[in-house]
Amino acid sequence: MRPDVALDVRETSHTSAGMLAYVRALRRLLPRVAPDLALAEFGSGDNFDVAEQLGMPVALARLRPRLVHFPTPFVPRIVPAPHVVTVHDVIDLEFPQYAKRKVGPYFRQVVGPVLRSARAVITDDDATVELLERYLRVDPARVRVIPLGVDAPDPLPEPVVRPRPYLFYAGNHRPHKDLATLVAAWASLPDRDAVDLILTGSEEPSLRGPRHAQGELIFAGERSTDDIWRLHRGAVAYVHPALREGFGLPMLEALRAGTPVIAADAATPSVLKPHVHQFPAHDAVALRALLLRAVEQPAAFASGIEAAREATAHLTWERMARATADLYRELLGST
């Protein structure tokens, strides 16, 4: 039977943790929320290889789906079927100084034309719509914003308890995450504030710099999903200093865990802005002021967190999958 939708299910060497969560959520939930749609999975190989650029078009030509969904921007240049592409962000185009030299040409020569020929482009946040138009000439009228989601454990796990209070960051250490600004703001807190800073991921010697007199910088390594929720739960605040995000799943996780969130304004998705303490990106002085409030006035700083938990409860992976299936139906109905 000819499938209604063919979903690229590759998990490649360039697939970020957020992308992986997104692809896995689609695979898990689409059959349940869209039983009326005949779904097929396809895709093999890595990015930028023969399997992607030649093998995938051949496979699609044989499969003949009514619609193809590429849930990442890693696409073949030729797509022999109507298609939808998800682009979570264009950070490598906005901050080319942090990207490999070949990334820009790849996006402009391969990804851009595929996006412009797509029936629709999905992204996570309103801010990315304008960026897609600016950098890749994608018509904003064809971009659909579908926020990501999280599935918070119920009941929530017990919080981590440590000798000192701590601030927490979860994510990779790529340059646009601007962890140096976070470390500088934390290290400049007054000596009276004994607070640790916990970062997931491996040791990063370049971040060691000046040591906070009454606290410790801790690299927590790779942690399980349960560990991350427990670290969120125990933190005085979750801090996300990135210059830009597509969505920033850890911010939503922290809110759902009942932890105040401090984040750079440009990295905060519009759906979370009312619930996040924001500062101008790269501004260590403004970030320090928020950290000081979080550490010295924790009850007042967290006063709105229960309202934030309730206001973000609808942002689940199932909601994302249902909205995506609705888009499929809309596009299939117009063919």
Counting the structural domains of the chain, the total is 2
> Do 295 and 206 share a structural domain?
yes
The candidate with the shortest Cα–Cα distance to 4, out of 86, 79, 85, 69, is: 69
**Is position 277 within any domain?**
yes
Q: Do residues 3 and 65 lie in contact, with contact meaning Cβ atoms separated by under 8 Å? A: yes
> Do 189 and 90 share a structural domain?
no
**Is position 158 within any domain?**
no
Q: Do residues 200 and 228 lie in contact, with contact meaning Cβ atoms separated by under 8 Å? A: yes
> Do 250 and 170 share a structural domain?
yes
Task: Please list, in sequence order, all residues whose beta carbon lies within 8 angstroms of the beta carbon of residue 44, skipping any fewer than 6 positions away.
Answer: 10, 51, 55
> Do 80 and 204 share a structural domain?
no
**Is position 160 within any domain?**
no
The candidate with the shortest Cα–Cα distance to 270, out of 90, 145, 165, is: 145
> Do 307 and 178 share a structural domain?
yes
Instruction: Assign residue 207 the CATH number of its domain.
Output: 3.40.50.2000
**Is position 156 within any domain?**
no
pLDDT per residue as tens digits for the range 216-240 = 999 999 999 999 999 999 999 999 9
> Do 137 and 212 share a structural domain?
no
Hey, what's the torsion of the CAs at 288, 233, 217, 98, to 10 degrees? -70
Return per-residue pLDDT of the chain as tens, 335 residues.
Answer: 899 999 999 998 888 889 999 999 999 999 999 999 999 999 887 888 888 899 999 999 999 999 999 999 999 999 999 999 999 999 999 999 999 888 999 999 999 999 999 999 999 999 999 999 999 999 999 999 999 999 999 999 999 999 999 999 999 999 999 999 999 999 999 989 999 999 999 999 889 876 666 799 999 999 999 999 999 999 999 999 999 999 999 999 999 999 999 999 999 999 999 999 999 999 999 999 999 999 999 999 999 999 999 999 999 999 999 999 999 999 999 65
Lookup: tokens for 133: 């138009």
> Do 233 and 259 share a structural domain?
yes
pTM for the predicted model, two decimal places: 0.94
> Do 173 and 141 share a structural domain?
no
> Do 297 and 198 share a structural domain?
yes
> Do 104 and 227 share a structural domain?
no
Lookup: tokens for 246: 């597509």
Q: Do residues 214 and 192 lie in contact, with contact meaning Cβ atoms separated by under 8 Å? A: yes
**Is position 117 within any domain?**
yes
pLDDT per residue as tens digits for the range 57-98 = 999 999 999 999 999 999 999 999 999 999 999 999 999 999
> Do 238 and 205 share a structural domain?
yes
The candidate with the shortest Cα–Cα distance to 187, out of 216, 160, 158, is: 216
> Do 181 and 106 share a structural domain?
no
Q: Print the domain residue range for 20.
A: 5-149+316-333
**Is position 154 within any domain?**
no
